[in-house]
Structure 1
Amino acid sequence: MFRVVAEHAKRHPGLIPQFFFICLGMGGASLYLVRLARGPHVTWNKTDNPEPWNNLDPTYQYKFVAITTDYKNLKKEGPDF
């Protein structure tokens, strides 16, 4: 695979930036998927803690931007499991 890309890059040097940005985008997408897979709402081991989202306190901010919600004064609604 790398040999084919190198041959194309030698014949057409204008493709080198395209190969670079494609690899950069694929690497960034891979890192983002790893970040999503390691989040607090994802469980990989169901024997230790099958519901890890119940351990999050009510002040945990799930959204990046919350305009009207003040998470510091939020009280938990519902029972403890």
Structure 2
Amino acid sequence: MLSQILGQAKKHLSLIPVFVFIGAGSTGAGLSIMRLALFNPDVSWDRKNNPEPWNKLEPNDQYKFFAVNRDYSKLKKEGPGF
């Protein structure tokens, strides 16, 4: 399969950017999924010692990948502690 892709790229040089962007896109998608699986508070890898990791979040913890105009370090607790 790789030889077929390289053969097509040699024949049609305009396909090289397409192959690069498809490869970079799939790599970025894989990294994004890996980040969600490892650092998202909704995912529990250790059910025995930490069955509900989302309950241990503080109000000033930032768990979003990108927060627009939000400084979580200055956020005060808005509700009761359970």
Normalising by the smaller structure, the TM-score range is 0.7 to 0.9
Q: Work out which of the residue numbers 55, 68, 71 in structure 2 matches 1:65.
A: 68
Instruction: Map 1:2-81 onto structure 2 (within 5 A).
Output: 2-41=2-41, 42-62=43-63, 64-66=67-69, 72-75=74-77, 77-80=79-82
Could you say if the C-alpha distance between residues 26 and 73 of structure 1 is closer, same or farther in structure 2, counting changes exceeding 3 Å? closer
Structure 2 CA distance, aligned partners of 1:10 and 1:73? 56
Moved over 6 A (4+): none
Cα distance in structure 2, aligned partners of 1:53 and 1:77: 15
**SS of structure 2 residue aligned to 1:58:** coil
Gaps (5+ residues) in structure 1?
Answer: none
Q: 1:8 to 1:76 in 2, by over 3 A?
A: same
Pairs aligned (count)? 79
Gaps of 5+ in 2: none
CA RMSD of aligned residues (A): 2.3
TM-score (norm. length: structure 2): 0.75
* % same residue: 42
Change (3 A) 1:61 1:21: same
CA contact (8 A) 1:9 1:15 kept: yes
- For normalisation by structure 1, the TM-score amounts to 0.76
The letter for the 1-side match of 2:28 is G
